Structure 1
Amino acid sequence: MIAVVIPCYRETAAVLSVIAAVPPPVDRIYCVDDGCPDGTGDLVERECADPRVTVLRHARNRGVGGAMATGYLQALADGAEIIVKIDGDGQMAPRLIPAFVEPIRAGRADYVKGNRFFRPETVAAMPTVRLVGNAVLSFLNKFSSGYWQIFDPTNGFTAIHARVLWLMPLERIDRSYLFETEMLYRLGTLRAVVLDLPVKPVYGDERSHLVPHRMILPLLGRHGANFLRRIVYCYFLRDFSVASLEWLLGPALILFGLIFGASAWASAGASGVEATAGTVMLAALPIILGVQALLSALNFDSANQPRTPIHPTLGDLLDETEEGVGPRTASPTNPETDHGAGGDGGE
């Protein structure tokens, strides 16, 4: 079964046309009214006659991550095999859903996402602020997720296999605009295969709510923390290799060189005697070797991307967990979520 989740917040202008464009291979459509002040959920229930549609409601706004967690859990409980995410603003083409589903069904990927940077024409049409912002986010995401060949991490057109989604800690994934990048970080720790597909977005008169200068510090902090966690988990807890030694030696050598050099410089300044060439080399050489070690570790990391999808082998593992958790037994129980049925054309 293929399911589509549409997080909705102030989407009354386009959500009905988005739903109408979802192609027949999709079996279920979940519209998550994320505490929407203009009543997107009410509009869908009143105006949409598509029997595939179910409206899920949040009493208060939880962000795109919270809306997706609710939609994902409901789709899993209903037995969905592949779950697609599209936005309700009309910037994505639902006709492309089969193209996102096919690589997963064929066993070539665990997670498929859109890439608006694939064609030069698409990049040229992108607003400058979004172009720069997405380029910076893409660069930071390469470090934090380990997917060095993936671009446009904030793209909201995605598809994921249910078996992989079962392993994702949805309750811990960021609820804000970092939801998609957090998904990539979590997928990286699972060694899931991620595939980029070219998409052409449609930009209207809507304005982004993101303020670039206010995002810099939170982004650096979040991606930096994820990068360190990923390195510790992937190179020291789950595995150990030459790259693990380089991750240790690189910073240690650089730190030693900087401390020794600063100490020698201070000592020379206090005594009035210039440092010898040997002292300078003793400070510079560890820094050079440390930088080389880190570059070598990054090169190994970029070549260490997962190549084999994990979802074909996860079926038995999910059935044999100690808690017995699997698609047949889990439920998206959430006391703050009201479930309403849509698709009946209203009263």
Structure 2
Amino acid sequence: MTGQQQQNLPSASSQNAAEGQSRIAVVIPSYKVIAHILGVIAEIGPEVERIYVVDDCCPEGSGSYVEQNCTDPRVVVLRNPENQGVGGAVMTGYQAAVSEGIDVIVKIDGDGQMDPGLLMNFVTPILEGAADYTKGNRFYDLEEIRAMPRIRLFGNAVLSFMTKFSSGYWDLFDPTNGYTAIHRDVARHLPFGKISRRYFFETDILFRLNTLRAVVVDVPMDAKYGDEVSNLKISKIVGEFLAKHVRNFGKRVFYNYYLRDMSLASLELPVGVLMLIWGVLFGASHWASSIYTGVANSAGTVMLSALPIFLGIQFILAFLGQDIASVPRRPFHLSRLKSKTKPGAGR
């Protein structure tokens, strides 16, 4: 969002602030969703103070379409000068909301798959201090899962498993779910320039949230499948996502277990990996030699291979157990609030 766009934003209503109520905004990325976006806006309840429609250089001119056909005074149309993907559109909305002093920012897609009536289910845990960031999970209701296309069901399961490793949020599922809400104090600490701006956005932001030690909570929801067409083809992005997950896992481990802090888990992972590699290479070389010479390896040689493998696996499992137990539990925005109100702070 340019400085000119930011200056042109209408000032938000001061009613909620005057009454001491939290201010809520919705960000709607807009790209080829003209058929659904007005219906989505119409279903957003009065608890929302501002609605940011982000025209992500849409070829259909969705920003102008909303301006011409929507009379809701809460709607502000923002425009990206070039297409930045869903992540870029959401971050444009985040920056506008933070600049207006919005407390909780909800992201809803404009294709009609997300029910705006569920909005407070995402906002309430944040307002109650139970979470910094909430996201939808379509896998709670087993009956509703049957309505999900099988390829999407399988793809989400695979991506969810990879996300647990890379993000450190082992208690979350359905990482590509774009129905989210975030507290302002968390959003303004995100490195907007580093977050992936396309389909990896929802997953990459979880990694960034973990580096802040933010609390993330899943919210059960049902998806609506109609005549909308998803631009995300899971079968085409699994390989790309895998490479990015490996990158994020390495960064997260370095940040959390070596740069910020060190614990027993900091030793368990490298020792386990080295022992596993040594055992596999030692065993494979002697197994190949045995096949070539026709001479069976001794029991001691077999043990020298098997023991490091078993111990390496145990060390890695011990690290994973520690990693699972260290999922963030203390909301980031509450700790920031306490630091601001602490007597003597700022002197």
Same fold? TM cut 0.5: yes
Secondary structure at 1:13 match in 2? helix
Q: CA RMSD in A?
A: 1.8
Q: How far 1:119 sits from its partner (Å)?
A: 0.5
Q: Tell me how far apart the structure 1 counterparts of residues 46 and 40 of structure 2 sit (CA, whole Å).
A: 13
Matched with 1:34 is: 56
Shift of 1:251: 0.4
Contact 1:86–1:94 (CA under 8 A) maintained in structure 2:
yes
Question: Which residue of structure 1 aligns with residue 194 of structure 2?
Answer: 172
Counterpart position of 2:86: 64
In the alignment, the residues of structure 2 paired with residue 154 and residue 318 of structure 1 have an alpha-carbon distance, to the nearest angstrom, of 34
TM-score normalized by structure 2? 0.88
Please identify, of 247-256 and 308-317, the stretch whose mean Cα deviation from structure 2 is larger: 308-317
Residue aligned with 1:289, SS: helix
Counterpart amino acid of 1:233? Y
| Deviation by residue 1:182-209 (Cα, 9 ceiling, x = unmatched) | 1111111211111111111110123333
Residues 1-347 of structure 1 mapped to structure 2, 5 A cutoff:
1-269=23-291, 271-315=293-337
8 Å CA contact 2:31–2:58 kept in 1: the answer is yes
Structure 1: runs of 5+ lacking an equivalent: 325-347
Amino acid at match of 2:72: D
Gaps of 5+ in 2: 1-22
Asked if structure 2 preserves the Cα contact closer than 8 Å seen for 1:100 and 1:112, the reply is yes
- Compute the displacement of 1:76 (Å): 0.6
Deviation at 1:171, TM superposition (A): 1.3
The two structures have a TM-score, normalised by structure 1, of: 0.88
Distance across 1 between alignment mates of 2:59 and 2:321:
48
Which range is displaced more, 270-279 or 81-90?
A: 270-279
Distance 2:292 2:157 in 1: 47
CA distance in 1, matches of 2:157, 2:302: 39
- Between the aligned partners of 2:341 and 2:241, the Cα distance in structure 1 is 37
Q: Structure 1 pair 319/40, CA: closer, same or farther in 2 (3 Å)?
A: farther
Instruction: Give the structure, 1 or 2, with the largest relative contact order (CA under 8 Å, sep 6 or more).
Output: 1
Shift of 1:266: 4.1
Q: Which amino acid aligns with 1:149?
A: D
The residue identity in structure 2 corresponding to 1:209 is N
**Pairwise CA distance, 1:264:** 2.5
Distance 2:114 2:340 in 1: 33
Q: Equivalents in 1 of 2:175, 2:233: separation in Å?
A: 18
**Distance in 2 of aligned mates of 1:291 and 1:155:** 33
Cα distance change of structure 1 residues 35 and 293 upon mapping to structure 2, 3 Å threshold: same
Whole-Å separation in 1 of the counterparts to 2:244 and 2:332: 26
Give, in angstroms, the shift of residue 224 of structure 1. 1.0
CA contact under 8 A between 1:69 and 1:171: conserved in structure 2?
no
| Structure-2 change in CA distance of 1:57 and 1:277 (3 Å) | same
The residue that corresponds to 2:3 in the other structure is none
Q: Which amino acid aligns with 1:167?
A: H
Distance (whole Å) between structure 1 residues aligned to residue 93 and residue 264 of structure 2:
42
Counterpart position of 1:345: none
One-letter code of the match for 2:232?
L
1:68-104 CA-to-partner distances (Å, cap 9, x unmatched) read: 1111111111111111100011111112112211111
The sequence identity of aligned pairs, in percent, is 54
Aligned length: 321
What SS does the aligned partner of 1:14 have?
A: helix
C-alpha separation in 2, matches of 1:205 and 1:45: 24
CA–CA distance in 2 between the matches of 1:61 and 1:319?
Answer: 41
**Which amino acid is 1:31 matched to?**
V
